[in-house]
Amino acid sequence: MQLGPYTLAAPVVLAPMAGVTDKPFRVLCKRMGAGLCVSEMTTSDPRFWSTSKSRHRMDHAGEPDPVSVQIAGTVPQVMADAARYNVDHGAQVIDINMGCPAKKVCNAWAGSALMRDEALVARIVEAVVRAVGVPVTLKIRTGWDAAHRNAPTIARIAQDAGIAALTVHGRTRDQQYGGVAEYDTIAAIKAELSIPVIANGDVDSPAKARAVLDATGCDAVMVGRAAQGRPWLLREIAHFLATGKSLPPPTLVEVRDILLAHLEHLHAFYGEQSGVRIARKHLGWYAKDRPENAAFRAVANRAETAAMQVALTRDYFDALVAGVPPGLRAAA
């Protein structure tokens, strides 16, 4: 898939997920085979750009190309300014959020709520495209609700305004993440556009990725929640799409090493206190469906130092590798 001057190494994109797709996770997922990783949503409001959270979200030092940053907001000129600011701070692709279903976002008429105002969609996209010299992408849903599936109209507006690629999550806003993704709607949109289209929704295996591409004719798939705790899923999908063959699952030793490296990056990136706290959700995802995972999470969540968190994690996976019940040391 071509995105402006960038040729993606694989037609697999990591979805922007608030509180998940920070730099440590993006770097890991690119190493695991993602052709593109989109940052978690950043605000277009300049009053918040100097906060610790925003500074971390805008930190792209050492991140592999291309760097894609998602922005959210409702005012065209403010969105244009935010796009320029992020490009000045390392963004090589700007993604506009019109797909987030969260109430706090939609109540401010941002995210997927924007799909209810097609004229405003056009003004925002046009303003952002004019503001920057990098590819601008857009993420949408199929509509606000079942009675208002206007994604095809929004898609044409966006293409006419100059976006470089479109991602469609195959659900309406009121479906949140429930139900089954509407691949027929995505297929209809792809058939009408000349720009690349990325299919999003329920892609959780290599076979599903192949089936979604076949059903929609899209140029790439976007993987979201399925990659939480399973970043190697991205390389498995990329390999299967390229060869038609399945990769073996990672060994426990490899899972352990991937997780330990992820923890260390989180601790270094956020600092010990915040890094330990943020790592807890990732520990739960990595250990999900493994023996004694509930006990591991309970103990690991009480670890207050980076060294203890790393030691508990290493002990747990070493025990799994050895084939013995994990003996969890008490957290300090």
Percent of the chain with pLDDT over 90: 73
Query: pLDDT class for 252, splitting at 50, 70, 90?
Result: very high
Strand, coil or helix: 50? coil
pLDDT at site 116: 83
6 vs 104, which has greater pLDDT?
A: 6
Question: Residue 170: pLDDT above 80?
Answer: yes
Q: How far, in Å, CA of 248 to CA of 259, rounded?
A: 18
Going along the chain from its start, the domains and CATH numbers come out as 2-243 (3.20.20.70), 252-322 (1.10.1200)
Higher pLDDT, 326 or 229: 229
Mean pLDDT score, 259-266: 97
Residues 6+ apart with CB under 8 A from 129: 136, 161, 162, 163
The per-residue pLDDT for 49 is 78
pLDDT-derived band at 257, boundaries 50, 70, 90? very high
Per-residue pLDDT at 13: 98
Which pLDDT score, from 0 to 100, does residue 111 have?
63
The pLDDT value recorded for residue 109 is 44
- Per the CB < 8 A criterion, the answer to whether 243 and 11 are in contact is no
Question: What pLDDT, in 10s, does the model give residues 66-93?
Answer: 999 999 998 999 999 999 999 999 999 9
Alpha helices in 193-330 (DSSP H): 206-216, 233-243, 252-270, 272-287, 293-300, 306-322
- Which pLDDT score is estimated for 318? 94
pLDDT value of residue 56: 83
Q: Is the pLDDT of residue 280 over 70?
A: yes
> pLDDT digit string (tens) for 17-66?
999 999 999 999 999 999 999 999 888 887 777 777 777 888 899 999 99
Are 24 and 262 spatial neighbours (Cβ–Cβ below 8 Å)? yes
Active site residue 100: yes
Q: Is the pLDDT of residue 321 over 50?
A: yes
**107 pLDDT above the threshold of 50:** no
Numbers of helices and strands, H then E, in the chain:
13, 11
The one catalytic residue in 29, 37, 100, 218 is 100
Q: What is the pLDDT of residue 99?
A: 66
Average of per-residue pLDDT values in the chain:
91
pLDDT for residue 132: 98
Query: Residue range 152-179: average pLDDT?
Result: 88
Which pair of tokens denotes residue 128? 């952002």
CA pseudo-torsion sign 16, 22, 27, 31: negative
